[in-house]
Structure 1
């Protein structure tokens, strides 16, 4: 087996030399200013070590990667009752599509498209003020990463609120079908803020460890969720974690993963490692272009694909 530190370092060096970096997200104004030349990679291994390279300690907006953590919390609140309000199937459409939502009577196809994440956020609110719900989300992520410095980037949150017209439409549409139970403004405010959480690759890789180790934090041996729930979240990450690019990601990388339009990807190599990569330039489906390439190389060199060598 290759030495993990060397593999991570070699991949980061290769990615830094590439010219095909994709395009940064511009529909959220605050993200349009991010330098696409940055690249970070962090791998939190089962033995407690962490291999990092590139801009692995630079905070970035995790955006839709936060949906992994909100889904985990919502399942803790509602259990399998959650699936009456959101489905578990790949969407095949853009992450902010409204067409599919109308055809399916306001019930989102899965928890990782925007409509599904709004439904999940509504469950976490459960009658609580948005500030309390946000505090719970942030505490959970900080606990998972063992890092209290993780925070919400208020500039990004305000930028999302000012331009999030499609999400406003989705939320109101779902409210009209009775899928959302809390005030639309509460749901949207909480959603915009948890998407604006800022983390580095190192922090994100550490926060995802419980998904790589059957629901347990390997440092503390503390059980965060059941092994069955961790397995099911990983399954959804594999099939739905990259929107209409999920099939391509599964084909090329072979690991459960969740992307965000900030250019980050959280990936899970069960029993081996949790991985965070960040490259701000996106491909046409809204996923990190170099991030996917880097994870494909990492999975191949470490023989970590869940489908075999």
Structure 2
């Protein structure tokens, strides 16, 4: 199943027989840590989510799945959607994308305008909000129904056609997303937005409101662990995309907390303020975890802890 063998391998081959017990142990350990964070109450809809929930799903590259807790409960993926729109935008325009967005960590809040203004309208990376809005703009400028295109792309990766936009959450995002409106207008004013501001933002708010479960997410990112191969979608041009996107997740996927996450967990990952985190162990597995309580950086408290325990107990950090 795994590419690495022998004592000198980068990471240990996953012991599938032990995995169910390991996931149960992680579940029991992390739920004792409830109460250390808060839900994203600045987004209507997310503020009403029961904070004391936990789910986890792991999928191996040979299509075996292991779950624990609320792994099949759908939740708002929020910024995890930026991972899928990046895949789609690269599928549409390829390397041309990097003329409009960088590939470096920002060291700033995910919704900061400071760097964008000082660096000529080129966002530092595609996972902070300004970079993600540029990525969405690539899709919006080239699609008759961009939000629907993103929905269908994600559903094709997960194999679950019910992975769709929660219109109530999308409306709440639109009503309160003042900083994103400012970012989009600044991008437009600096010549880095092709579609109309309203069109791009409408698509951006809707993509963040797509709902998925941990199982859906682990399936949807399969191509990033399996050299571009996906069990559910065969027409996706994913060659070399695993290398490119995994590198960006490792350096930019958890915003200005990415260094601590790499230190503690050691996997490429992407988080969202809905409480989800997806991570990739190249050549071995994908994993998704969900727990709505967030730390001050906007990342799931229990999600990070669960992934740290997973790589510690299985010795599958990439380092």
1:233-272 aligned at under 5 Å gives the runs 233-272=245-284
Matched, 1:175 2:191: no
Deviations 1:119-157 (A, max 9, x none): 00010112433xx11122111111111111211111110
**2:34 pairs with 11, 16, 19, which one?**
19
Contact 1:215 1:226 in 2 (8 A): yes
Contact 1:212 1:273 in 2 (8 A): yes
CA distance in 2, matches of 1:142, 1:81: 26
Q: Which residue of structure 2 aligns with residue 67 of structure 1?
A: 82
Q: Which residue of structure 2 aligns with residue 205 of structure 1?
A: 218
Number of corresponding residues: 304
1:1-309 aligned at under 5 Å gives the runs 1=15, 3-129=18-144, 132-217=145-230, 219=231, 222=234, 224-307=236-319
SS of the aligned residue for 1:144 comes to helix
CA distance in 2, matches of 1:274, 1:134: 26
CA distance in 1, matches of 2:297, 2:213: 23
Contact 1:255 1:306 in 2 (8 A): yes
- Measured after TM superposition, the shift of residue 226 of structure 1 is 3.6
TM-score of the aligned structures, taking structure 1 as reference length: 0.95
- Measured after TM superposition, the shift of residue 225 of structure 1 is 3.3
SS of the aligned residue for 1:268 comes to strand
CA distance in 1, matches of 2:34, 2:161: 36
CA distance in 1, matches of 2:79, 2:133: 11
- Measured after TM superposition, the shift of residue 21 of structure 1 is 3.4
SS of the aligned residue for 2:240 comes to helix
CA distance in 1, matches of 2:41, 2:226: 36
CA distance in 2, matches of 1:124, 1:116: 13
Distance 1:21 1:45, change over 3 A: farther
CA distance in 2, matches of 1:264, 1:246: 15
Contact 1:40 1:55 in 2 (8 A): yes
CA distance in 2, matches of 1:26, 1:292: 20
Q: Which residue of structure 1 aligns with residue 6 of structure 2?
A: none
Question: How well do the aligned residues superpose, as a CA RMSD in angstroms?
Answer: 1.3
- Measured after TM superposition, the shift of residue 20 of structure 1 is 4.0
Contact 2:91 2:238 in 1 (8 A): no
Distance 1:185 1:198, change over 3 A: same
TM-score of the aligned structures, taking structure 2 as reference length: 0.92
Distance 1:185 1:304, change over 3 A: same
CA distance in 2, matches of 1:86, 1:3: 42
Unaligned runs of 5+ in 1: none
